[in-house]
Amino acid sequence: MSDVQQIKQRFGIIGNSYGLNRAIDIAVQVAPTDLSVLITGESGTGKESFPQIIHHYSSRKHASYIAVNCGAIPEGTIDSELFGHEKGSFTGALSDRKGYFEEADGGTIFLDEIGELPLATQVRLLRVLESGEFIRVGSSKIVKSDVRVVAATNVNLERAIADGKFREDLFYRLNSVPIRIPPLRERVEDIHLLFRKFANDFATRYRMPAIKLDEDAQMLLTKYRWPGNIRQLKNITEQISVIEKQRLLTANDLRKYLPSHAGENLPAVIGGETKSEAGFSNEREILYKVLFDMKHDMNDLKKLVHEIIQNGADVNLKGDNARIIESLYSGDTGIIKPATASSPMTYPSHRDDEAIEDTEEFVEESLSLEDKEKELIEKALEKHGGRRKNAAHELGISERTLYRKLKEYAIKG
């Protein structure tokens, strides 16, 4: 068994993705040093395992390891918790008390949610990192402590620095070695492994057969974005294990437990920004919107062209209409030449019915939704050599949806 696999087994880490293996490798390499480490990643990604890896593989492994959740300690008492206090230094200080830095002397202290530290406490922490010295609350005596600091956060500290909520010098002092834990959506190959592990654990705990997923349910599981990461996956697996009577789940069964706002996250462009499922339930509605907008524009353009053909060069073009005509029919097309000071805008002579027929034919041909969908699918399949997975990705739809479209339109691919 490789070293990485042994580490995963020891610390209960599941997965084989590159980002996860890279994070473990960095943790093992930095462990023998005394460098400060900053672990970043979204909430629920499993950041708490990595300080333990660092401590276990360091020369401090026989000394204390203390984990502190900075976000769970009230601002008024956090200095006392971290650095200790003297008797009578504040109301309720009935005796001297050592802080976590004093207790962890010679070992490792893990400061989780470091971004929640008050600015005054950040100053104290910076001094500890630079000189190993601090002063208890209510005391004037300097205390020295040899502690290795590992910090973690799900906050963008660089943005917090810009907002004046985190000290830049402390950030660079903590960030001697950065370790990024990838979110679950970047570990697609690990999602089903984690699900099976949790399902087996809960089956043992509740003395029941483990739940399983059919092929469509597995696909839905891996496509979901998991905003709560591993913690959310574990909670949902436990819910399903307890509630569902059937042990083999379909996609419809699984979908009931996935918050609908995240869904499959089909992209839609609105106001120049890409948003997930913003106002559209599926790709068909997106196509409808695009085609109806196109129809509206083409009808306006058809009326304008008809007016131009009817009235010839005497038509009074104003504002946007003039710009539309110039942009559409100028240049090398030879259809309409742009107007100049010496040469007014001229138009080709056509029979009225001929021009209108051509325009109407073009509009009807372009506005067939089924033909448009079929054409896009065929082009995507041709582009990717018949590989459905790549074609579905190109179209922005799921493989299952693409398969349904192929059957619907009798497309061979």
Q: What is the pLDDT of residue 375?
A: 84
Q: Please report, rounded to a whole number, the percentage of residues in the chain having pLDDT higher than 90.
A: 57
Look at 84-93, 211-220, 253-262, 312-321 and tell me which has the smallest mean pLDDT.
312-321
Could you tell me the pTM of the whole model? 0.62
What average pLDDT does the segment 84-98 reach?
87
Residue 398 scores a pLDDT above 90: no
Return the sign of the alpha-carbon dihedral for residues 278, 281, 286, 292: negative
Residue 269 scores a pLDDT above 80: no
Q: What is the pLDDT of residue 303?
A: 72
* Contact by Cβ (8 Å): 276, 265: yes
Residue 399 binned pLDDT confidence (cut-offs 50, 70, 90): confident
* Higher per-residue pLDDT: 405 or 84: 84
Distance CA 55, CA 52 (A): 5
Q: What is the pLDDT of residues 16-61, one digit of tens each?
A: 999 999 999 999 999 999 999 999 999 999 999 999 999 999 999 9
Classify domain 369-408 at the CATH topology level: Arc Repressor Mutant, subunit A (1.10.10)
Q: What is the pLDDT of residues 272-318, one digit of tens each?
A: 444 344 344 455 555 655 666 676 667 777 777 666 666 654 545 44
Query: Residue 97 forms beta bridges with which residues?
Result: 85
- Average pLDDT of the residues of the chain: 82
Contacts of 102 (CB under 8 A, 6+ apart): 83, 84, 143, 145
Task: CATH number for 186-255: choose from 1.10.8.60, 3.20.20.120, 3.90.1300.10, 3.40.50.300.
Answer: 1.10.8.60
CB neighbour burial string for 315-353, b if at least 16 within 10 angstroms, e if fewer: bebeeebeeebbeebeeeeeebbebeeeeebebeeeeee
Q: What is the pLDDT of residues 202-233, one digit of tens each?
A: 999 999 999 999 999 999 999 999 999 999 99
Q: With 0-12 CB in 10 A as exposed, 13-18 as middle and 19+ as buried, what is 33?
A: middle
CATH number for the domain whose boundaries are 3-182: 3.40.50.300
What average pLDDT does the segment 69-92 reach?
90
Q: What is the pLDDT of residue 310?
A: 67
Number of H helices, E strands in the chain: 18, 11
Q: What is the pLDDT of residue 210?
A: 96
Kindly list the domain boundaries of the chain, sorted by start residue.
3-182, 186-255, 284-366, 369-408
Q: What is the pLDDT of residue 89?
A: 83
What average pLDDT does the segment 322-340 reach?
49
* Contact by Cβ (8 Å): 168, 161: yes
Query: Residue 38 forms beta bridges with which residues?
Result: 151, 178
Q: What is the pLDDT of residue 249?
A: 95
Q: What is the pLDDT of residue 321?
A: 54
